[in-house]
Amino acid sequence: MPLQELHEDTYLQLAELMHASVGLSFSTAKKPLIASRLAPRIQRLGLSGYEAYVDLIAGCDDGGEFQMAVDLLTTNETYFFREPAHFDLLESELSRTRPQRLRLWSAASSFGDEAYSLSMLLADMQQTGRIGADWSILGTDISERVLRSAVEGIYPEDRLRHVTPERLKRYCLRGSEGSAGLVQVQERLRERVRFGQLNLCRPVEELGPFDAVFLRNVLIYFDPPTKQAVVERVLTQLRPGGLFFVGTAEGRVPGVRGLTPIAPGAFRKEGA
């Protein structure tokens, strides 16, 4: 039986809860999308409607459902080597500077596609002597569920459609029989990447300094003041001269200083 319409007052209550708790910003125009993403979950739980679901996730004893709601409302399509110009720029920069020690941060890592893409790039560069052997990647996300999946490093083949055949052969294992159509990132790369839960709208402990930070395709969920606060918080973990990446469609964050644009969605932190 279809759910009743998501009423405006219930939607506003949900939007306020998400903004106050994790900084997510949902305009009135997003109401149909929010309703469609939550409806299957509400029906699966056997709840009477959206009002009952909001009451559940707003309560102290939600059984982890608030986190599930965050997952449902923020999970976008992701895949390996998304926006390849950023990986090309990073490769060019590192080939020029040839660092012997390197720390990268995938700050909204989702299922790990971005972090493992970076690991493939760095492994190639180490093999050709363009960077040293001391490198690692940190992937963080607000969702425990996606992080558990990221640690396993198992993906449908289509998510790796932009990975070259040579890299697939070097760094991935193809599934067979019951796992046909799946690919797992090899353990030697998974060991280079660690994942941890992090809410970017809360104070960030000392994680860095990092040589490059990827904060791509997450700012779209925040209102302008939250965007500025998140970027400024993240930049405290980036060394002067380091590279900072956002999604090319997200542009420059108004009010944030100390960044020099070097390409669409790519910046250098000033002060080197």
Q: Is the pLDDT of residue 78 over 90?
A: no
Whether 37 is a known active-site residue: answer yes
Mean pLDDT value across residues 232-257: 90
- For the stretch 49-70, pLDDT in tens is 999 999 999 987 877 888 888 8
| pLDDT grade for 254, boundaries at 50, 70 and 90 | confident
Helices 8-22 and 65-74, axial angle in degrees (round to 10): 100
According to the model, what pLDDT value does residue 26 have?
86
Domain that holds residue 50: 8-74
60/122 same-domain check: no
Give the whole-angstrom CA distance, residue 267 versus residue 259.
6
Identity of the amino acid at 206:
E
Q: Is the pLDDT of residue 76 over 70?
A: no
Give the whole-angstrom CA distance, residue 114 versus residue 50.
34
Whether 55 is a known active-site residue: answer no
Q: Which of 37, 130, 233, 239 is catalytic?
A: 37
**Conformation bin of residue 153: beta by default, left when phi > 0, alpha when psi is -120 to 50:** left
Other beta carbons less than 10 A from residue 122's beta carbon: 22
96/143 same-domain check: yes
For residue 150, the SS3 value is helix
Instruction: Look at strands 134-141 and 193-197 and give their pairing.
Output: parallel
Q: Which of 141, 192, 211, 268 is catalytic?
A: 141
Start-to-end CA distance of the chain, whole Å, equals 61
Residue with tokens 């994790």: 22
Other beta carbons less than 10 A from residue 145's beta carbon: 16
* Final residue in a domain of this structure, among 74, 95, 121: 74
According to the model, what pLDDT value does residue 190 have?
97
67/95 same-domain check: no
Q: Is the pLDDT of residue 240 over 90?
A: yes
In the numeric block, which tokens belong to residue 220? 């779209």
- For the stretch 92-107, pLDDT in tens is 999 999 999 999 999 9
Evaluate whether 108 touches 216 at the Cβ level (below 8 Å): yes
Mean pLDDT value across residues 263-270: 94
116/241 same-domain check: yes
Q: In the Cβ-directed half-sphere of 252, how many Cα atoms lie within 13 Å?
A: 14
Bridge partner residues of 138 (DSSP): 105, 194
253/122 same-domain check: yes
According to the model, what pLDDT value does residue 131 have?
98
Residue 40 lies in a domain: yes
Which CATH number does the domain housing residue 14 bear? 1.10.155.10
Across the chain, mean pLDDT equals 91
According to the model, what pLDDT value does residue 224 have?
86
